[in-house]
Structure 1
Amino acid sequence: MTSEYRYQALENWLVQGIREHRWRLGERLPSIRTLCQERGLSKATVQHALQRLEAQGLVEARPKAGYFVTLPLRDTNKPLIFGRIEPPRPVTVSELFLDIMRRCAAFDLLPDLSVGKLPPGIVSLNRSIGRALRRQRGEHHQYYDAPAGVPCFREQLVSHYAKRGWAARFDQLCVTSGCQHALFLALMACCNRGDIVAIESPGFYGALQLLEQLGLQVVEVPSSIETGIDTDALEEILARWKVRACIVTPAYATPGGALMPLSAKKRLIELANVHDLAIIEDDIYADTALHGTPDPLKAMDQDERVILCSSFSKSLSRDLRLGWVSGGRWHDRILHLKLVTQLATSRYLQEGVAEYMADGSLGSHLRRQRNELRINRDHLIASLQAWPCEVRVSNPLGGLAIWAELAEHVDTLAAYLPALDRGVVITPGPLFSASGQFRNCLRISYAHPWNNARSQALASLPELLLQR
C-alpha cells in the first residue's frame, strides 16, 4: 500500500463524510491526532489529505482550533451561472427597490428588530471622530476642505491598499460621500448620455439606479455566482456593440459573493485595452474577506483604464458616508465633478477615520468582523440546506450575502408582499437584473447575527415561497 494511496483514501473518506452530512457546514473535522489513531496513519499523511481538501475549498484551517467544513457539496453538473446576452436597453429601476431602501432593509430580513449594544470597533470609531472634532481650532469651520480630501486620510488609504498589492499615491485618490457617490462620479466622467455600460448579471442594483438617472443604456453580461463576470460573454458583447464602460466587483460581488480568479482579471484588462473600455471597479466588499484580502483590479492597471471606487460602509459602518475614487485617466474630470456635486467632505470625519486607521483600530475591527461573518454565513447556509424544498446556494468567501436559487416555478417577486405582511423583507432576484431575470432567486444577507427572531423569519420563508 503506497503513501499516495493512503492519503487519497483518507481524502475520499472525508469527502464522503461531508457529502453524507457526517460533518455539516461549519462543523469541525476530527483532529489530526484522532485521524492518525483511528485510521492508522502518519501525521504527515493526514496533514497532506487535509491540505488537499483545503486547496479545494472544502475545509478551512483555523489556528489552534482545527479544520472546519466550509463548502457544502452540491451537484457539480449544475454550476451557479446565470444570465443571457440581450441587446442594450434603457434602465427602469423597480419601485420595489425603493420600497426596500425606505425600509432600511437592504441587508436585514427584519429591519425593525431592536438593536443591541454597539460593537467595540464602532465605539472606537466614534471616539476617534469625537477627538477629531474636539481638536478643531480657529476658524476651520469657516472653510471647505479641498475637493480631493484631507491628505492624512488619503495617506492612510495608500497604506491600506499597499497591503493589498497596489502602490497608490495619495494624489491618485479623491474622497467621496460613499461608494455610490464614487460610482456616480466615475460614470459621469467616462460616459455620455445614451452610452452603453456593461454590468454583471446578476449584479448590483445600485448601479442600475445610477444608469437610469444618467440616461445610460445597459447590457447585461452573464456571470457566475462563484467566479464573477464571464469574460468570454463580455468579449462577444464588445464585438457586437460599442460599450463605453464596464462595472465589475472582482472581490465578493453582490448578490452571491463571487470572487474573480486572477486569469479573469487579466483577461478583463486585456479586453479593456483592445476595445478602449473604461473599467469601473466596485471594491466595496474586499475588506469583508474571510481569508486573505484579494488585490484590487486596479493593481494590475498599467494603462490607467480602471476607476476604483470604494468605501467603509460594508466593512465598518453604513452610516459612515465616506468613500473614495481613484480615477485613472479620468481623475481630473472626477475632481471637477466632485466639486460640482458635493463641493467638499467633512474634514473632521476624515481626520477621525484616519486616526482610527493609523492606531490599528480598523485592523482589529476587521479581524473581529470576519469571525462574526463566518459564523453568520455558516448558520445561514446550514439553515437553507434544511429547507423542505429544492434550493441551491452560493458559498462566498467574503461579502455579506448568499444567493439562493429555488425551483423554476417559484416566484420570489410574488412573495414580497405576503412576506411583508409578516414583517419580513426579502430581496427578490429580479432586482439584480435590468431585464427581469432570476425570478426564482433570492439574495439573503448574513450581515446580522442569527438570533431567534431572524432565524424564525428565515424559517418562515419556504411556506411563503412555495405558495407562489
Structure 2
Amino acid sequence: MIEIGSGIKKIIIMGTDGRGPEMGADYRYRQLESWLLQGIEEQRWRLGERLPSIRTLCQEHSLSKATVQHALQRLEAQGLVEARPKSGYFVALQPNAVKKPVSRSRIEAPRPVSVNELLLDIMGRSAAFDLLPDLHAGDLPPSIVALNRSIGRALRRQKGDDYQYYDAPAGDIGLREQLSLHSARRGWAVPPDQLCVTSGCQHALFLALMACCERGDVVAVESPGFYGVLQLLEQLELRVVEVPTSVETGMDIEALEEVLERWKVKACIVSPAFATPGGALMPSESKSRLLALAERHDLAVIEDDIYADTALGSAPDPLKAMDRDDRVILCSSFSKSLSRDLRLGWVSGARWHDRILRLKLVTQLASSRYLQQGVADYMADGSFASHLRRQRNELRERRDRLIASLQAWSTGLRVSVPLGGLAVWVELPTSFDTLASYPKALEEGVVITPGPLFSVSGQFRNCLRISYAHPWDARRTAALNRLPELFVQL
C-alpha cells in the first residue's frame, strides 16, 4: 500500500568550492540532473508521465547526447525515473512512499455463499474493468488486428465438411503445444496431453471445483478475493472459509494453517501471481509452505493463474511448477492478457485431469477448432510474445497515471501498487461506504466496484477496486477525479 504524498527529496549539486552549482563542462550533466529533479518535485512531470526525449533535452539545453544520457542514468540509479524500451524515460513510483496496509479480514466459520446482486448489475454493464463502460473509445490496437487476421486465416483454411465435426475434448493439439511452450518459458514443463482447452478461466475453475469437491464441502479462498470464485461456490452449493490476504504477498499462510487445523477443508483457491483485487504476488517461501500444508491436510489446490502474463516485468513461475504431489490444478486463459472476448482458457488437472476431461464434455462438449488454430498461429509466429512486451509498457504507464491521479484524493487514502494485474485496491478512511456510493456514482454515469463484492462477510465497505486496463483519456480521468465527490460518508 502507499500513502499518497510527495517523497522526492530536492538535491542541490554544489560546486567544488561549495558556492553553488558547478559550471564546468565536466559537470553539465549535474545541472541537467538538478533541473529534472526540480521539475519532478514541482510536478512539471507527474508520476508515470514521460520526461522530454533525449533529443529534446539535447536541443533545449545545448548538451551532447552522452551528457543527457548520463544525467538520466543517474536519476534511474536513484529510482526516480525508469527507462522503457522504445518509449523513453518516465517518472517512477518512489519506494519511500510505500506504506504497509492496515486492514485485514477476519477468520470466520465456513458458511454458504450468497453473492451480492450488485455484481450482476456491474457485469450486465460490462463494467468490471472500466469506470465508463459505454465509452468504447479508440481504434483496435495492432496486436488485436494481427490476432483477428490469424483467426481469419484459420477460418479460410476450412476444407470440405470440417464444419460438421466436433473438436477433441482436450482441445486443438496445436494450441496445446503452444501453451506447453509458453508455460516452459515460465519454468513449468507441462506436456500437451496434460492440458485441456476451456471456455475461459471461469469455466476452468468451474471444472476444477466440480472435479475435486462435492456439495457441502468447504473451500478456502482469499479475502479480499475474486468475486467470480464466490459465484461458482454459490452455484455448486459449496461452503466458503475466507483466509486473510495481503495486497502485497497474497494469502496469509499462517492464517490458512489455522483454518486447516480448525475445519476440514477440501480445496483452496489461490492466485499467487497478481491476485485480484490488489495485485498481490506470493513469495516463493509462502508457495512452499502452502504446498506442504496441502500434502499434510490432503488438500486440492486450485491455482488461478489468469493474471501472470500481465506482469510488468518477468512473469513469475506458477505455483504448479513447484507441485511434486500432483495436487495443484492450474487454471488460466487469454482473457486478461489478450482479449476478454476471446473466451479461450485452459486447465491442467493434476490427479483429477481425466475427470476434468469428462466434465468438459458435459459442460461444453467442444471448443471452436478454428478459433484455437488461429490463436495457436498467433502464438507460433511470435505475435503473442510481442503483444505482451508492448502491453507491459502500456500497463505500467496506466498504473502510474492512475496512482498519480489519486494523489489529489484525501491524505488518508491507501492504494496497492501491483507489479502485475489490471487493478489497484483503494482503501478509504473507515467513514466511507463504497457500497452505498454505487447508486450515486451510477447517476453520474460512473460505475465503481465496491469492496464488499470481494468477500462474503460484508467486509471492506471502505474499499474499492479501480482498474487501469483502459487508457486514461480525458473522459476516464475526469470520471476518476469526480469519485471523491460521489463517495458516501457514514
* Secondary structure in structure 2 of the residue aligned to 1:308: strand
- The residue that corresponds to 2:409 in the other structure is 387
Larger Cα Rg: Structure 1 or Structure 2? 2
Match for residue 368 of structure 1 among 390, 393, 398: 390
Query: Between Structure 1 and Structure 2, how many residues are aligned?
Result: 445
Q: How does 1:198-347 map onto structure 2 within 5 Å?
A: 198-347=220-369
Once the two structures are TM-superposed, the CA of residue 155 in structure 1 deviates from its matched residue by 0.1
1:79 — aligned with what?
Answer: 101
Contact 1:25–1:72 under 8 Å retained in 2: no
SS in structure 2 of the partner of residue 243 of structure 1: coil
Q: How far apart, in 1, do the equivalents of 2:417 and 2:39 lie?
A: 15
Gap change, CA 1:371 and 1:284, over 3 Å in 2: same
Shift of 1:378: 0.6
Following the alignment from structure 1 to structure 2, what is the Cα–Cα distance between the partners of residues 356 and 432?
Answer: 34
Call closer, same or farther: CA 1:252–1:18 in 2, change over 3 Å.
farther
Quote the residue 2:93 is aligned against.
70
Q: 268-277 or 204-213, which moves further after superposition?
A: 268-277
Q: CA RMSD in A?
A: 2.8
Letter in 1 for 2:391: Q
Q: CA 1:361–1:446 in 2, change beyond 3 Å: closer, same or farther?
A: same
Deviation at 1:90, TM superposition (A): 0.4
**Alignment TM-score, normalising by the size of structure 2:** 0.85
Alignment-mate amino acid for residue 370 of structure 1: R
Q: Distance in 1 between matches of 2:38 and 2:326?
A: 49
User: Is residue 95 from structure 1 mapped to residue 117 from structure 2 by the alignment?
Assistant: yes
User: Contact 1:80/1:226 (CA < 8 Å) preserved in 2?
Assistant: no
Q: Which amino acid aligns with 2:487?
A: L
**1:444 pairs with 2:484:** no
Q: Shift of the alpha carbon at 1:390?
A: 2.3
2:137 aligns with one of 104, 115, 125: 115
Alignment match, 1:396: 418
> Unmatched 5+ residue regions in structure 2?
1-9, 12-33, 59-68
**Percent same amino acid at aligned positions?**
71
| 2:219 corresponds to | 197
Contact 2:225 2:276 in 1 (8 A): yes
Q: CA–CA distance in 1 between the matches of 2:176 and 2:463?
A: 39
State how far apart, in whole Å, the 1-side matches of 2:136 and 2:291 are: 45
CA-CA distance at 1:140 after TM superposition: 1.3
1:38 corresponds to which residue?
none
Q: CA deviation at 1:82?
A: 2.3
Decide whether the 8 Å contact of 1:403 with 1:442 is kept in 2.
Answer: yes
Confirm or deny that 1:414 pairs with 2:429.
Answer: no
Partners of 2:154 and 2:266 lie apart in 1 by 41
Unmatched runs of 5 consecutive residues or more in structure 1: 1-8, 35-42
User: Displacement of 1:84 after TM fit?
Assistant: 1.3
In the TM superposition, residue 375 of structure 1 has moved relative to its aligned partner by: 1.2
Counterparts of 1:73 and 1:392 in 2: how far apart (Å)? 14
Mark the CA change 1:316 to 1:30 in structure 2 (over 3 Å): closer, same or farther.
closer
Measured against aligned partners, the alpha-carbon deviations of 1:415-458 in whole angstroms (never above 9, x if no partner) come to 00010011000000000001010000010000001111111111
- Deviation, 1:62, is 3.5
Q: 1:192 to 1:119 in 2, by over 3 A?
A: same
TM-score, structure 1 as length reference:
0.89
Distance 1:21 1:233, change over 3 A: farther
Structure 1 pair 179–75 and aligned structure 2 pair: CA distance change class (3 A): closer
Shift of 1:216: 0.3
In the alignment, is the contact (CA less than 8 A) between 1:80 and 1:225 conserved in 2?
no
Task: Work out the CA distance in 2 between the residues paired with 1:360 and 1:124.
Answer: 11
Query: What does residue 379 of structure 2 align with?
Result: 357
Deviation at 1:249, TM superposition (A): 0.6
CA displacement at 1:366 relative to structure 2: 1.2
2:152 & 2:373 partners in 1: Cα distance? 10
Report the 3-state secondary structure (helix = DSSP H, G, I; strand = E; otherwise coil) of the residue aligned with 2:150. helix
Contact 2:434 2:488 in 1 (8 A): no
Partner letter of residue 161 of structure 1? S
Q: Is the 8 A contact 1:310 1:324 kept in 2?
A: yes
Residues 48 and 371 of structure 1, relative CA distance in 2, 3 Å threshold: closer
| 1:134 matched to 2:156 | yes
In the alignment, which residue of structure 2 is the partner of 1:143? 165
The letter of the residue matching 2:486 is: L
Shift of 1:115: 2.8
